[in-house]
Structure formats: structure tokens, C-alpha cells
Structure 1
Amino acid sequence: MNFNVLAAAAAFCLMSSSLMAHEFKAGNLTVDHPMAFETAPMAMTGGGFMTITNSGTESDRLIAVRADFPKVEIHQTVEKDGVAQMLPVEAIEIAPGQTVMLQPGGYHVMFMGLDGRQLKEGEEVPATLVFEKAGELAVVFNVEKRPEGMTMKHGDHNAAPSN
């Protein structure tokens, strides 16, 4: 068998497994499956989700996220007087041995100021996660189809503005 064919096949397998894993590392931190749900055509905001695991012996904190949007914030959904609110937080701590999930209804990344830029299934959103100790980590949020019946109530960040 030709060496070039073997090399190409090996490279394809490595790329495929890496894409399937969709995992990024910075120091002792592992960021798994950063993703965002597709948004409505006139949505002003979108949400980003992922899992962050700290396999080290010291805590670290996610202190910022940068992406090609007018504003990006780290948010947490909290319930106050029976109403869910999505509020900005300064940072998310990831303790040693801990896994933190950024997911709907909890911590998440808010992509703000979409202004007509619809996030579509299959799109990739490059971003940089900034950790207090591990530093900057380039990641890619894969845009996925919103599951049937899944809606965000009380201030849906993915809804189109109403007039």
C-alpha cells in the first residue's frame, strides 16, 4: 500500500476523532463540546454551552469569553420571585477535580448584539475563553439544532424582538 495513502488515512482518522471529541485543553482544564443552539432570524442574542473539567490541584476561574459579537458575557440563570432571570456573573470557579456544566437553565455564555446575524445549524463560532490561571484558550462553538419543544422562558435570549 502506498505510504501517502496510509498517511492520508491516518490524518483523516485523527481529524475525525478530534472533531467527534470536540475537546480543547489549557493546562489542567479540559473544555468539552462547546456548542450553541441555532437562533431565530431576528434574535438579538444567543447562548453558548460547554463542560469544563479541572483535573489539576488548584482552582481556576473562567473570567471572560471573547467572540466576534458586539458583547459577550458569562451569565447564570437564577430564579427570583418565581421568575427566571439570566444575570451576568464575574467568573465561574472550577475547583480541583470538579466539572462545571454550562447549560440551559444554569451558567452559560451570552452572545449579544446578533442584530440579524442568525446562528445556523452547522455553523462554527470561534471564541476565546479566558481563564484566570490557565490563560487564553481558543475554542469553536458548534451551532446545533434546538431540540423540538425546547424553549427558553422568561426572557428568551434567542427570541426575535417583539414590537
Structure 2
Amino acid sequence: MLKWLRRSEPKDVPAATLGPLQIVKPWARSSSSESGVAGGYMTVVNDGETDRLVSVSCPAAASVEIHAIRVKGPVLEMRPMEAGLVIPPANQQILKPRGYHLLIRGLASPLSVGSKLPVTLVFEKAGSVTVDFAVEAPGTVGHATLSSS
């Protein structure tokens, strides 16, 4: 098929825009009442210069940490990113299960599927923005989840 005949996929509408940054597909995993912990995910598209996600907060949680996952043989280790997460220029940074993610701790109540979770993202240069994360079922972590944006 000729290239000009192919239909391109529609671009995702950003949930929020902050200067050159766009927050796309923000979501959190639903949680149980026992754990009080959930994961937060999104894609940050950067059409400007290098920036850094330096902190995150949520009124429904005691704390939110920016985390990375490191694979050591058969073991996955989570580690907080104390210096924040770099958002490269003219690129995107994807936060997804088993990768960079937000660790939401001390939830006041369980997150139920279909609800929204307000999360404030603070960037070094662009400033701060509050975004509603859609709460979704945890689902399985497979190839589609790991390779999606």
C-alpha cells in the first residue's frame, strides 16, 4: 500500500498542557483497602527543552514517590528517584507498569475503577499542574502494556 494512502492513528488528546509539556493518558491502578498503595502512569511529551519531574502530590494519599524499576536477574527492585525524572527535549517519557512509575502511598480509601484521582505534578522548569488520573483495573502486565505509550 502506498504511504500516502495509509490512515494515521489519531493523536491522543492531552489531559493537560503546561508550556511545552503535555500529559497524556494519566491513569492509576485500582487498589484494595488492605494495601493503601497504588501505581500511577502517564506519558509526558516534551516539545521544548529538557525538564525534570521533581515532585508529585495527591490530596488522597500520604505521599507520592517517583520510582524506577531495576531488573537484577529474576528479581525486580523498585527505587525512588530522589533527583526526579528527566523529561528529554523533543521526546517523551513514558511511565508504565514495570518501568518508571508513581508510587502512591497511604491512600485514605481504596481507589475504585471509574473514579478520578487528582495528582499534582511539579516540573523543574515548566511549573506545576494538577491532572485527574483515571482509575482503571490493574489488568495483566503483558507485552501490550509494557510496550505501549
TM-score for both structures, normalised by structure 2 = 0.80
Output the amino acid matched with 1:110. L
Inter-partner Cα distance in structure 2 for 1:21 and 1:38: 23
What are the residue-to-residue correspondences of 1:1-150 with 2, within 5 Å?
21=13, 23-56=15-48, 58-68=49-59, 69-90=61-82, 91-114=84-107, 117-147=109-139, 149-150=140-141
Inter-partner Cα distance in structure 2 for 1:150 and 1:54: 26
Inter-partner Cα distance in structure 2 for 1:66 and 1:49: 14
Inter-partner Cα distance in structure 1 for 2:120 and 2:42: 13
SS in 1 for 2:121: strand
Displaced runs of 4 or more, over 6 A: none
2:14/2:22 contact within 8 Å kept: no
**Residues 16-59 of structure 1, C-alpha deviation per residue, up to 9 Å, x if partnerless?**
xxxx8352111100010110011123123100000001011x10
Root-mean-square deviation (Å)? 1.7
Larger Rg: 1
Distance 1:54 1:135, change over 3 A: same
Output the amino acid matched with 2:93. V
* 1:75 Cα deviation from its structure 2 partner: 0.5
**Residues 40-94 of structure 1, C-alpha deviation per residue, up to 9 Å, x if partnerless?**
23123100000001011x1000000010211110001111243101110021111
Could you tell me which runs of 5 or more consecutive residues in structure 1 were left unpaired when the two chains were aligned.
1-19, 152-163
* 1:146 Cα deviation from its structure 2 partner: 2.0
* 1:114 Cα deviation from its structure 2 partner: 2.3
Inter-partner Cα distance in structure 2 for 1:79 and 1:39: 24
Could you tell me which runs of 5 or more consecutive residues in structure 2 were left unpaired when the two chains were aligned.
1-11, 143-149
Q: What is the aligned length? A: 129
Identity of aligned residues (%): 37
1:22/1:34 contact within 8 Å kept: no
